[in-house]
């Protein structure tokens, strides 16, 4: 493997490698829930500020980019030993470890800098948010709760966006954060099924490695059941708080819950061929559909 990248190269190709390293397309998981939090906060404040929306989106991008790049940097040796991940950018020599670490630092600083333009509370809480999203990368080395730490990191999206607008905590966005925590933890367990044998061989901690595939799938199913119930409760509460919310939000909720259920028909204990379909496609569609429906319903009144 080469340790350094050829100095002269197409800038677009270089950018593409970094976007691939951080799986930029996976931003679709948490971003819609950030927009849900932003929409609810804007309705509470009585106005929507485009400047704040741009800042919230930038914070999401910077924090997630830092977290993903740090995970790839920290796991570079583990990824190199795993046949499924050996082709990732750092172990394959497409991005140097030093460059990845610089990318992490730059995005972390940009995240904190951006929160300074939002409000004092978000700025003060920015190191805590970074501690959570960066700290996740260590957890698979010592706890089976690593999936929940990942869920907690993405769960910061709705409450963080709400805080950006109002500067105060509220229960409804916190419920949405709980929805995201359970939902992400559940589908990360499904994704980890692919590496259960490798994780055991390397003494890494994950639910499938600890519980076995059957019980890990049952745990994921339970997490998604509670996530769906919480989502329906949040939508009902939302309709009570803002009666102008109508049938559109319920369509979004129905699609989200249906896709959560559907992904569990795709993955079997002895058949992991459709894990990626369950992990990315169904969850991406679920989050995007629900987020868009809430934003549309909120903007209609």
Residue 239 is part of a domain; what is its CATH number? 1.10.357.140
In a domain, 173, yes or no: yes
In a domain, 5, yes or no: no
CB 85 within 8 A of CB 123: no
- Classified as helix, coil or strand, 268 is strand
Q: What is the pLDDT of residue 8?
A: 54
In a domain, 16, yes or no: yes
What is the percent of the chain with per-residue pLDDT over 90, rounded to a whole number?
86
Q: What is the pLDDT of residue 301?
A: 60
φ/ψ (deg, to 5) at 278: -65, -45
Q: What is the pLDDT of residue 9?
A: 65
Q: What is the pLDDT of residue 279?
A: 86
In a domain, 2, yes or no: no
Cβ neighbours of residue 66 closer than 8 Å, sequence gap 6 or more: 103, 104, 107, 108, 111, 130, 133, 134
In a domain, 3, yes or no: no
Q: What is the pLDDT of residue 1?
A: 46
In a domain, 181, yes or no: yes
The residue segments making up the domain with residue 215 are 11-299
Question: DSSP alpha helices (H): ranges in the chain?
Answer: 11-21, 31-45, 50-74, 76-81, 97-116, 120-139, 146-166, 171-192, 196-201, 207-211, 213-241, 247-266, 275-276, 283-299
φ/ψ (deg, to 5) at 227: -60, -45
In a domain, 138, yes or no: yes
In a domain, 1, yes or no: no
Distance, CA of 133 to CA of 116 (rounded, Å): 19
- Other beta carbons within 10 angstroms of residue 212's beta carbon come to 13
Q: What is the pLDDT of residue 298?
A: 86
**Which residues pair with residue 268 across a beta bridge?**
271
Distance, CA of 55 to CA of 114 (rounded, Å): 7
What are the average pLDDT values for consecutive 10-residue runs of the chain, which has 301 residues? 52 90 90 96 91 97 97 97 96 96 98 98 98 97 96 97 96 97 97 96 95 96 98 95 90 97 93 89 95 90 60
Q: What is the pLDDT of residue 295?
A: 94
Distance, CA of 97 to CA of 74 (rounded, Å): 9
Report how many domains make up the chain: 1
Structure tokens, 32: 């819609």
């Amino acid at each position: 493997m080469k340790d350094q990248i050829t100095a002269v190269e197409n800038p677009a190709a270089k950018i593409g490698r970094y976007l691939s390293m951080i799986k930029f397309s996976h931003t679709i998981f948490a971003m819609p829930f950030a927009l849900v939090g932003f929409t609810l906060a804007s309705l509470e404040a009585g106005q929507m500020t485009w400047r704040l929306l741009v800042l919230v989106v930038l914070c999401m991008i910077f924090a997630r980019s830092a977290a993903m790049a740090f995970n790839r940097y920290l796991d570079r040796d583990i990824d190199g030993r795993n046949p499924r991940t050996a082709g990732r950018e750092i172990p394959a020599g497409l991005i140097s470890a030093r460059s990845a670490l610089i990318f992490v630092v730059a995005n972390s600083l940009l995240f904190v800098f951006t929160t300074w333009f939002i409000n004092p509370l978000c700025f003060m809480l920015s190191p805590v948010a970074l501690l959570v999203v960066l700290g996740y990368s260590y957890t698979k080395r010592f706890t089976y709760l690593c999936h929940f730490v990942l869920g907690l990191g993405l769960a910061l999206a709705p409450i963080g966006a709400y805080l950006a607008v109002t500067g105060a905590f509220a229960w409804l966005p916190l419920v949405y954060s709980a929805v995201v925590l359970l939902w992400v933890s559940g589908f990360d367990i499904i994704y980890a099924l692919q590496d259960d044998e490798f994780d055991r061989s390397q003494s890494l901690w994950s639910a499938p490695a600890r519980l076995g595939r059957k019980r890990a799938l049952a745990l994921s199913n339970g997490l998604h059941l509670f996530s769906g119930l919480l989502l329906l409760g949040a939508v009902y509460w939302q309709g009570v708080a803002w009666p102008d919310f109508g049938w559109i939000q319920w369509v979004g909720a129905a699609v989200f819950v249906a896709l959560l259920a559907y992904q569990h028909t795709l993955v079997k204990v002895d058949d992991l061929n459709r894990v990626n379909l369950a992990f990315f496609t169904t969850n991406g569609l679920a989050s995007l559909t629900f987020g868009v429906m809430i934003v549309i319903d909120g903007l209609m009144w």
